[in-house]
Chain A
Amino acid sequence: MPAEAAAAAPDAVESVFPRLEALLPHVQKPIQYVGGELNSTVKDWESCDVRWALMYPDAYEVGLPNQGVMILYEVLNEREGVLAERTYSVWPDLEALMREHKVPQFTVDSHRPVKAFDVFGLSFSTELGYTNMLTALDLAGIPLESRNRTVDDPIVLAGGHAAFNPEPIADFIDAAIIGDGEQAVLDMTEIIRAWKAEGRPGGREEVLFRLARTGSVYVPAFYDVEYLPDGRIGRVVPNRSGVPWRVSKHTVMDLDEWPYPKQPLVPLAETVHERMSVEIFRGCTRGCRFCQAGMITRPVRERSITGIGEMVDKGLKATGFEEVGLLSLSSADHSEIGDIAKGLADRYEEDKIGLSLPSTRVDAFNVDLANELTRNGRRSGLTFAPEGGSERMRKVINKMVSEEDLIRTVATAYGNGWRQVKLYFMCGLPTETDDDVLQIADMAMNVIQKGREVSGSNDIRCTVSIGGFVPKPHTPFQWAPQLSAEETDARLEKLRDKIRGDKKYGRSIGFRYHDGKPGIVEGLLSRGDRRIGDVIRAVYEDGGRFDGWREYFSYDRWMACADKALAKYGVDVDWYTTRERTYEEVLPWDHLDSGLDKDWLWEDWQDSLDETEVEDCRWTPCFDCGVCPAMDTTIQIGPTGKKLLPLTVVDK
């Protein structure tokens, strides 16, 4: 009990809002900092014993719509005695004022200081949020490095796709969870609750140990990394007994049991996505070799057509959104997508509700779907992602779409009244040559030619959007050399010149590209090891913030800081990015188990070099990627054979 009482003292947590409020008239878009969103939750502080601060480490306008944070926010707040509040990165104008007036990083729900929570959980969709994490820690008054924290600091926890290689931020986080968060955060809550109820025995190390020994929470401090003289990793080894050699990912099996978010947050401020999003399935088995999301979220688990219908209905009522997004990694692959699309379109025909299907593959079926979804609305543009310009490249990356398919699809689209087709590609894929990329121009020209033919009009457009490829951990390309920024830019320039130089079709083709520099930093962070922490910290201390934003990102700063920080280790940026790895090399994330068999990934990498394709296990027999046996899971798909019935109309 005495320990309990001592622990209770710092619980007198006050809102920082009065102090923040005085700063708000001086900053841009103050509404993003005040909270009060529809469907947000403020629970009584004293009546909860485990308290989570959830952060999406980017601006509010990007972070608020994030599904992951929204789901965990609801899952946690539904629990008795548990509260979760949200915090986002503050823009530099407010950061400067907060530092000047000593206002700490706060949650937007009740404006409590982040340091007062038990867990500070950050969701990393991208590695470019790492500097923002350091800003938030520093503003919160939490020591930047895990080893300097005390029992009164929150447990700093990383999740999200980037957490599948948390090594670059190993010094700054206390723990990482890989995979689906829904059940994982609840399990973690129970462990923390028990430890607190016992009077926090053994302090911070004890609670981290209790989390680590479950085998599904990674605590970097309990592992030592040994390096070889040439700079490569020798091995990663637990430094205390009871800690597993490998930490496994979490997989939620029945999505219908987790119909979250039930009440999506409706912001007052304008955000990047304002729609009712329903995740129609998780995982993807198409096997595109560049795609980290597709690899780490296996196996495929579908939400049922009726479960989807119910979530859409409840969500629209709770939010008033005008648009429904059916999300997944390849939405047209749902076994009952046709019935889902038609059922929803029928249901909401009168309500002027738009339906969108992001991430669709190139086949004619998707144009039928798109027609269904835009029955009453606009037909602005269709987007497809062939990813590779040449047939050969598409074999290398296992994106099995032929140019014939694409042309047939766009012909259907232009024939159905669509005026614009967007095509997404990557540059710098393994084994790629200038010629592979230049074939993108030919493809776009064929698209325009066909479009003019079927529509009988010159008023059609095709936009080519292209960015540099970044090899990611837990994919067959995790061993691949990344193309340097200079070579990427040179290749993109050649492509641009070829498109712009074409007299007949060039004016109908738009060309959008991202230069290769941010990709190199992303590559450094995504395949980095613990030594990269020094670089992140140096960049942060030099003023680096919001690296995902063109106007803030500084390639030169990153390179200068990397040169300085890495010199003592005898490695450099090229070593991490453009160097090809070998089979024997211990990769920094090998002790994090995504379920994928490393030998299978290697074989798939070799198949890729031979231009051999792999089928989708959703429709064909298992090809032994390893996930299902390792994680004791299985693919979970329909069809259920059910249909969406019209909702009962209550006559008013």
Chain B
Amino acid sequence: MQRIRLRYTKRGRLRFTSHRDFQRAFERALRRAEVPMAYSAGFTPHPKVSYANAAPTGTGSEAEYLEIALTAPRDPRKLRELLDTSLPAGLDIVDAVEARTPALAERLTASVWELRLDGVDVAEAARAADAFRAAETVEVQRRTKNGMRTFDARAAVAGLEAVAATEPMTTADAAADRPGDGACAILRLVVRHVTPAVRPDDVLSGLSAVADLAPPVPAAVTRLAQGLFDEETGTVTDPLAPDREAARAAPQTEARDSAAAAVPAVEGSA
């Protein structure tokens, strides 16, 4: 059995896709792409897909991860292309590697978020971010299934800074969807994955609590990266890098299926 790890996005208007919605769409894409999926045993067999740590409905993401199990090996690059064309634009499969190392989920310990605040002056956002960072704890409330819950949003935050939105939004679609003129601040947020989870909107609640920051329109939130948090540099590393390195060291599984991967073998024999 081959396992493949994929990075995918929720872009533009499809950021309103809930995780359940994505699951249905992805499993249909697997069928359309005729991926030789491994199925769970039991009365109602399900394709074996492990999802990790999905972004909340309404937030965009450039870095969602999942892992699938196949009954026959496939070239990850071709599989990526095939699955990407089988999904609606906006739900894009942007990276694929064969799993060569254990537990992807354990390497997802932090996220980098971008919070785009239209109508907020960058200086005001910077003041709020400073106040947030200076605080020992920032109590926020969130409605959960079990009623209102109060927790600290400060400890999980490893980085929070405000920058001006200098460049236009990355995709034409996203740019068309947002009001173009007026002030706009961007917060870059690094959050450790802890329990209870601290989400970008909890940090926004925190900013409102410590500095009265009140954006006139809902913030456009995007997860930029997800991975292992490096305590020394304060950065988040690519969680698929170890698999990629392992594949470079021993490309045997791919070689069986992929003409491209077979090329080095030919060179080796020459």
Contact = CB atoms under 8 A, between A and B. Distances in A.
A268 B21 contact: yes
Contacts of A317: 32
A313 to B, nearest CB: 13
A76 B44 CA distance: 39
B140 to A, nearest CB: 17
B16 A378 contact: no
Contact of A34 (B14, B22, B27, B31): B14
B41 interface: no
B148 interface: no
A24 B217 CA distance: 11
Nearest to A25: B218
B13 A35 contact: yes
A18 interface: yes
B89 A36 contact: yes
Contacts of B90: 36
A25 B58 contact: yes
B17 interface: yes
B86 A320 contact: yes
B17 A31 contact: yes
A145 to B, nearest CB: 35
Contacts of B89: 36
A312 to B, nearest CB: 14
A319 B28 contact: yes
Interface residues of B, number: 36
Nearest to B179: A18
Residue in A26, A274, A352 whose Cβ sees the most chain B Cβ within 10 Å: A352
Given A25-B58, A34-B16, A268 B88 contact: yes
Contacts of A78: none
Contacts of B87: 38
A416 interface: no
B218 A15 contact: no
A21 interface: yes
Contact of A36 (B14, B30, B44): B14
A253 to B, nearest CB: 33
A610 to B, nearest CB: 51
Nearest to A17: B177
A162 to B, nearest CB: 31
B21 A320 contact: no
Contacts of A266: 25, 28
Nearest to B14: A36
B30 A320 contact: yes
A516 to B, nearest CB: 36
Nearest to B218: A25
Interface string A22-60: 101110011101111110000000000000000000000
A18 B217 CA distance: 11
Contacts, number: 80
Contacts of B17: 31, 268
Nearest to B216: A22
Contacts of B176: 15, 17-18
Contacts of A33: 16
Interface string B13-38: 11011101110110111111010100
A269 B21 contact: yes
A150 B214 CA distance: 43
B39 interface: yes
A191 B158 CA distance: 65
A18 B178 CA distance: 6
Nearest to A274: B24
A31 B18 contact: yes
A269 B28 CA distance: 13
Contacts of A37: 88
A368 interface: no
B28 A320 contact: yes
Given A15-B176, A319-B28, A321-B28, A21 B43 contact: no
Contacts of B36: 652
B253 interface: no
A10 to B, nearest CB: 21
Contacts of A17: 13, 176-177
B45 interface: yes
A320 B23 CA distance: 13
Given A25-B218, A268-B21, A322-B28, 14 more contacts: A17-B176, A18-B177, A21-B178, A22-B218, A30-B16, A30-B57, A33-B16, A38-B87, A38-B88, A268-B22, A268-B24, A320-B27, A320-B32, A321-B28
Q: List 6 A-B pairs, minimum CB-CB distance, nearest first.
A: A320-B28, A320-B31, A320-B32, A30-B16, A34-B13, A25-B218
Interface of A: 15, 17-18, 21-22, 24-26, 29-31, 33-38, 266, 268-270, 274, 316-322, 352, 378, 652
Interface of B: 13-14, 16-18, 20-22, 24-25, 27-32, 34, 36, 39, 43-45, 57-58, 72, 86-90, 176-179, 217-218
10 contacts: A21-B178, A31-B14, A36-B89, A38-B25, A268-B24, A268-B88, A320-B27, A320-B30, A378-B43, A652-B34
